[in-house]
Amino acid sequence: MSKIEYKNIIAFHPGYYIADVIEDLGMTQAEFASRLDITPKNLSELIHGKTSMSNKVAKNLSAMLGTSVEVWLELQKSYDARLIEIEQLKAQEKELTYLKKLDYSFFQTIGRLKDTKNKSEQLSELYRFLKISALGLFESPNFIAQFRRTELDKPDTDFISNVWVQTIFSLGTDQTTDRFSGKELRKVIKELRAYTHRDPNEVLGEVKEKLSRCGVALIVIPSLARSGVFGATKWIDRDKAVIGLSDRRKTADTFWFSLFHELAHVLDHKTTQVYILSDQKLDEWSEEKADEMARDLLIPPKEYENWLETADLSASDITAFAKRIDIHPGIVVGRLQKDEYLSYAQMNSLKMPFIIDNRQD
């Protein structure tokens, strides 16, 4: 079309004006085309806005009508600019539907985004922070990692999951760490076991500092509503890994197990792999291997097996065993629930609650 209207924007193609010229001259399109030294088909496409103004046609029009070449080229330039403006407006309107799915204040707090109510400014801030050209790109389930869709997923699960994971990676990229050292990380992992007796909020700063010296940036933020993930690991380069965790299930044992699980992935040092922690295991072998390492680091397998032979699984028995292996009893309960010695409704009073203190990040 040689004239496009969208809201208060009107774009006139050069062909729109050429059609007026032909009418004023009282010529047929075929005659005008022959005088302009182009085919009738090319002229028709130009008049109907199907092709752009070429340098040759602009030159011939200027000679034939006594105008400058620039007049016709500027008409094309102005038309193209208006089309871009229309496309941007349409794209922004679509992007606003994605913005409505997010709580801007969440990102403003954790990512230090600009405090603004202006939707266009909010989009610009999110684009910058999330390193993305359009929020709609997050709709693809394979944009960051290959999420596995299930019938239980809620609407927008892929979108929200990708946004949460990218938030982790954006924050982690900006965090300074030393160069990665697997040797140092193994030492730190053994030290971290002692922290399980305390509320993660109280020791999170110390844990982050220890991991930072090993080349690991730890980011802990709340989950986003409808997100299907609660942990992620990615290498920024060969010398820095980023781990992200949430306060899923609101218990400390889940947090510590998830941390050890992600640290197992880091020790593999597969720098091109992105690991996503969710209820849907995306890489069975890799996730089982990480589970095994986390499980055995937290609760020595031989001592666990020996205890189970005579355990009565009472609160006092569990507490005594946890004290013997120097671990919080909530972690033992979590293990027993996972191994189906207890139901997920039993012994939860022994677990330590954990809700992220946003002041930590």
- Domain containing residue 44: CATH number: 1.10.260.40
**CB atoms inside a 10 Å sphere around CB 152:** 9
In terms of domains, do 183 and 259 share one? yes
In terms of domains, do 90 and 9 share one? yes
In terms of domains, do 216 and 185 share one? yes
Tokens of 271: 């720098």
User: Which residues face 218 on adjacent strands?
Assistant: 243
pLDDT tens-place string over residues 173-229: 999 999 999 999 999 999 999 999 999 999 999 999 999 999 999 999 998 888 888
Tokens of 340: 């189906």
Residue pair 100/161 in contact (Cβ under 8 Å)? The answer is no
Alpha-carbon distances of 299 from 26, 40, 306, rounded to whole Å: 93, 83, 12
Nearest CA to 123 out of 134, 109, 112 is that of 134
Q: What per-residue confidence (pLDDT) applies to 280?
A: 66
Q: CA-to-CA distance for 255 and 245, rounded, in angstroms? A: 8
Arithmetic mean of pLDDT, 299-315: 97
Q: CA-to-CA distance for 226 and 155, rounded, in angstroms? A: 8
Band of pLDDT at residue 248, cut at 50, 70 and 90 = confident
Domain count, the chain: 3
Is the pLDDT confidence value at 315 over 80? yes
In terms of domains, do 233 and 256 share one? yes
- Kindly state the percentage of the chain with pLDDT values over 90: 83
In terms of domains, do 163 and 272 share one? yes
Q: What per-residue confidence (pLDDT) applies to 336?
A: 98
In terms of domains, do 126 and 75 share one? no
In terms of domains, do 176 and 73 share one? no
pLDDT tens-place string over residues 139-188: 988 888 765 555 445 678 889 999 999 999 999 999 999 999 999 999 99
Q: CA-to-CA distance for 203 and 78, rounded, in angstroms? A: 60
Arithmetic mean of pLDDT, 112-138: 95
Arithmetic mean of pLDDT, 125-145: 92
| Gyration radius (Cα) of the chain, Å | 31
Residue with tokens 């939707």: 119
Domain assignment present for residue 283? The answer is: yes
Domain assignment present for residue 32? The answer is: yes
Arithmetic mean of pLDDT, 306-334: 97
Domain assignment present for residue 197? The answer is: yes
In terms of domains, do 78 and 114 share one? no
Domain assignment present for residue 287? The answer is: yes
* H helix intervals, the chain: 14-25, 29-36, 40-47, 55-65, 69-99, 104-111, 119-130, 157-174, 182-192, 200-212, 252-268, 284-298, 301-310, 315-324, 329-338
3-state secondary structure of 263: helix
Q: What per-residue confidence (pLDDT) applies to 90?
A: 92
In terms of domains, do 268 and 208 share one? yes
Arithmetic mean of pLDDT, 123-140: 95
Arithmetic mean of pLDDT, 130-146: 89
Domain assignment present for residue 216? The answer is: yes
**CB atoms inside a 10 Å sphere around CB 326:** 10
Band of pLDDT at residue 278, cut at 50, 70 and 90 = confident
- CA 78 to chain CA mean position, Å: 36
In terms of domains, do 205 and 283 share one? yes
**Residue finishing a domain among 298, 322, 349:** 298
Band of pLDDT at residue 277, cut at 50, 70 and 90 = confident
Domain assignment present for residue 23? The answer is: yes
Residue pair 331/260 in contact (Cβ under 8 Å)? The answer is no
Q: CA-to-CA distance for 128 and 226, rounded, in angstroms? A: 23
pLDDT tens-place string over residues 15-67: 999 999 999 999 999 999 999 999 999 999 999 999 999 999 999 999 999 99
Q: CA-to-CA distance for 322 and 307, rounded, in angstroms? A: 11
Domain assignment present for residue 82? The answer is: yes
In terms of domains, do 18 and 87 share one? yes
Alpha-carbon distances of 151 from 144, 148, 341, rounded to whole Å: 21, 10, 29
Domain of 189, in residue numbers: 157-298
Domain assignment present for residue 217? The answer is: yes
In terms of domains, do 93 and 109 share one? no
Band of pLDDT at residue 281, cut at 50, 70 and 90 = low
Q: What per-residue confidence (pLDDT) applies to 142?
A: 84
